Amino acid sequence: MITFLIERLTDPRFLLALAGGIAVAATVFAVATPLVEGNALGKRMKSVSVERDKIRARERERLSRQSDRVSLRQEPKEFMRSIVERFKLGDWLGTETAKKQLAMAGYRGQQAEIGFLFFRLVVPIGMFLFALFYVFVIESFGQPVIVRLGIVLAAAYVGIKAPEIFLANQISKRQLSMRRAFPDALDLLLICVESGMSIEHAFRKVSTEIGSQSVALAEEFAVCTAELSYLSERRQAYENLAMRTGFESVRSVSTALIQAERYGTPIGSALRTLAQESRDQRMMEAEKKAASLPPKLTVPMIIFFLPVLFVVIMTPAVIKLMSSMK
């Protein structure tokens, strides 16, 4: 059985067929996922609403009993918690930067932190053992022991960086979604404020309206609404919003709201200026992408279009020349 498995894993045709099967399965999964996925906005907004209710329950119990506090987050899985606590992963793998990145990626609470620390330990060990087994048992690639040890160590390093890379990708996707929808959300926020709404009601209204464009931004606005209602300092709610989103436009809005809260300056004028700057910045980014399109198309045109054009132009002449030679 082991001999058959080794022969299969070292057969190039089998590996090519396996790669083709994985590619086909990934394509089917990518095409079928949008057809079967549920209402993401409804789920996220429902989770935010549940979290807001939990915040309300916590604050009420804190006012009545100062000793016990209600946990807002779902409890992490017990085996993950036991491993993290046994090896004290929070001391040498957990950092404040990682906590901020988890919040920016949309993973909040103790469960997300425990899971991140768990996978930061498990993934490098798994990659190390897999590479060790493959290089020293299945296929040596005709390399000396030093080179194979280097491959194993490189696999372990990739396993160390894999959770961070995943987190960075989640942050970039989330920020891209929020960055595209933020100018429209800022316009809606300005309209709500100038119509006489309080800033809490404005954030709540915008969170329900902007969800069709960005679920992440709607969720952050809803969480900010809950924090504005129940945190002891409103400034902390604005700072948390800027920290969770992680891009400059929201930080500018948070600074303007903090200054308006502290000094009593009008919010509408500041929001109007920031909304205009956000729209201009979005237009500049679109123009930048449009300007960078011709250089990007040069190489594909040389590789794909010009050979076909030469074939279309030269084929009749070649056919006529061959016929005249006969």
Tell me: the pLDDT tens digits for 210-236? 888 888 889 899 889 888 888 888 888
More confident residue, 82 or 234: 234
Q: Which two tokens stand for residue 50?
A: 């549940």
Tens digits of per-residue pLDDT, 85-95? 776 666 666 66
Q: Which two tokens stand for residue 101?
A: 């990145």
Q: Give residue 63's pLDDT.
A: 57
Q: Give residue 64's pLDDT.
A: 61
pLDDT averaged over the chain?
81
For the residues of 185-232, what is the DSSP string, one character each?
A: HHHHHHHHHHTT--HHHHHHHHHHHGGGT-HHHHHHHHHHHHHHHHSS
If residue 117 lies in a helix (H) or strand (E), which one and from where to where? Answer: helix 110-133
Q: Is 2 inside a domain boundary? A: no
Q: Give residue 66's pLDDT.
A: 45
Over its C-alpha atoms, the chain yields an Rg (Å, rounded) of 28
Q: Is 50 inside a domain boundary? A: no
Q: Is 272 inside a domain boundary? A: yes
Q: Is 226 inside a domain boundary? A: yes
Q: Which two tokens stand for residue 163?
A: 């959770």
Q: Among 170-174, 291-295, 317-321, name the most confident range.
A: 170-174
Q: What is the four-CA torsion angle of 117, 120, 126, 128, rounded to 10 degrees?
A: -140
What is the band of 40 on the pLDDT scale with cuts at 50, 70, 90? low
Q: One-letter amino acid identity for 324? A: S
Q: Rounded to whole angstroms, how far apart are CA atoms 270 and 260?
A: 9
Q: Which range marks the domain in which residue 280 is found? A: 176-290
Distance in Å from the first CA to the final CA of the chain: 62
Q: Give residue 172's pLDDT.
A: 92
| pLDDT reading at 169 higher than 90 | yes
Let me know the angle formed at the C-alpha of 25 by 23 and 29, rounded to the nearest 5 degrees. 115
Q: Is 68 inside a domain boundary? A: no
If residue 68 lies in a helix (H) or strand (E), which one and from where to where? Answer: none
Number of domains observed in the structure of the chain: 1
Rounded average pLDDT over 94-105: 77
Q: Which of 79-83, 119-123, 285-289, 318-322 has the lowest mean pLDDT?
A: 79-83
Q: Give residue 197's pLDDT.
A: 86
| pLDDT reading at 71 higher than 70 | no
Q: Is 233 inside a domain boundary? A: yes
Q: Give residue 45's pLDDT.
A: 66
Q: Is 325 inside a domain boundary? A: no
Q: Which of 6-20, 57-71, 242-256 has the lowest mean pLDDT?
A: 57-71
Q: Is 66 inside a domain boundary? A: no
Q: Rounded to whole angstroms, how far apart are CA atoms 190 and 229?
A: 20
